[in-house]
């Protein structure tokens, strides 16, 4: 099975997930003024994900100042999604759960198989998606995307803030859009 590559300036796949606060997140229903930042994470079992999402929560107000909505999404069930939101002390970041692996693949995420218990003693799900970070414009098109095959070496949120500032100031277009002959 191949992994899809999303194309900048083109529509992204649908995203409709339950939120740990009882609501739903439907991409495009109430977009951020400038972007929605969608952070796909591996799940509660991943200590690197927790550290990464704690940093996102720490910077949530700075993203909000720039007109960016934040959501972290995994394939975890409701209980595990709520536990991760509690671990992160989420208030500025919405937490979505129950992402189907089919939807994960549509977003171009890599899928891994369980290796048993992680270093923090939690069992990995049988199948789960690896990380991805996406900035989606209010019109539903991709501005920025990064996917990983591993839990480490992810884009730094502080760097993304600087990139967003530059993109706003320079009205910088999404890049990587060319799909023609080479």
1 vs 87, residue with greater confidence = 87
Range of the domain at 85: 16-169
Number of structural domains (the chain) is 1
- Could you tell me if residue 1 is inside a domain? no
List pLDDT tens digits, range 103-126.
999 999 999 999 988 888 888 999
Domain membership of residue 28 (yes or no) is yes
Q: Give me the pLDDT at residue 2, please.
A: 59
Q: Is residue 179 part of a domain?
A: no
Tokens, residue 99: 């992402």
Residue 24 within a domain: yes
Q: Is residue 9 part of a domain?
A: no
Rg, C-alpha atoms of the chain: 16
pLDDT digits (tens, 9 = 90+) for 60-105: 999 999 999 999 999 999 999 999 999 999 999 999 999 999 999 9
List, as one string, the DSSP characters of the chain: -PPP---TTSBPPP-EEEETTS-EEETTTS--SSEEEEEE---TT-HHHHHHHHHHHHTHHHHHHTTEEEEEE-S--HHHHHHHHHHHT-SSSEEEE---HHHHHHTT--EEE--SB-TTSPBPPSEEEPPEEEEE-TTSBEEEEEE-SSSSSPPPHHHHHHHHHHHHHHTPPP-----S--
In sequence order, which residues have a C-beta less than 8 Å from that of residue 79 and are 6 or more positions away?
Answer: none
CA distance 40 to 21: 18
**Is there a domain that residue 175 lies in?**
no
Query: For position 44, which CATH number holds?
Result: 3.40.30.10
Check pLDDT > 70 for residue 3: no
**pLDDT confidence bin for 1, thresholds 50/70/90:** low
């Amino acid at each position: 099975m191949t992994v899809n590559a999303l194309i900048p300036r083109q529509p992204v796949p649908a995203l409709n997930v339950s939120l740990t606060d009882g609501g739903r997140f439907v991409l495009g229903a109430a977009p951020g003024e400038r972007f929605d930042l969608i952070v796909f994470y591996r799940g509660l079992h991943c200590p690197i994900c927790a550290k990464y999402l704690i940093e996102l929560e720490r910077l949530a107000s700075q993203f909000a100042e720039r007109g960016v909505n934040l959501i972290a999404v995994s394939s975890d069930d409701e209980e595990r999604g709520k536990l991760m939101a509690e671990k992160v002390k989420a208030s500025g970041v919405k937490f979505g759960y129950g992402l189907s692996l089919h939807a994960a693949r549509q977003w171009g995420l890599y899928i891994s198989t369980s290796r048993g218990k992680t270093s923090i003693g939690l069992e990995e799900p049988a199948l789960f998606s690896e990380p991805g970070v996406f900035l989606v414009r209010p019109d539903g098109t991709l501005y920025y995307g990064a996917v990983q095959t591993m839990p480490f070496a992810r884009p730094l949120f502080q760097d993304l803030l600087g990139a967003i500032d530059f993109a706003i100031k320079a009205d910088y277009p999404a890049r990587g859009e060319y799909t023609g002959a080479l």
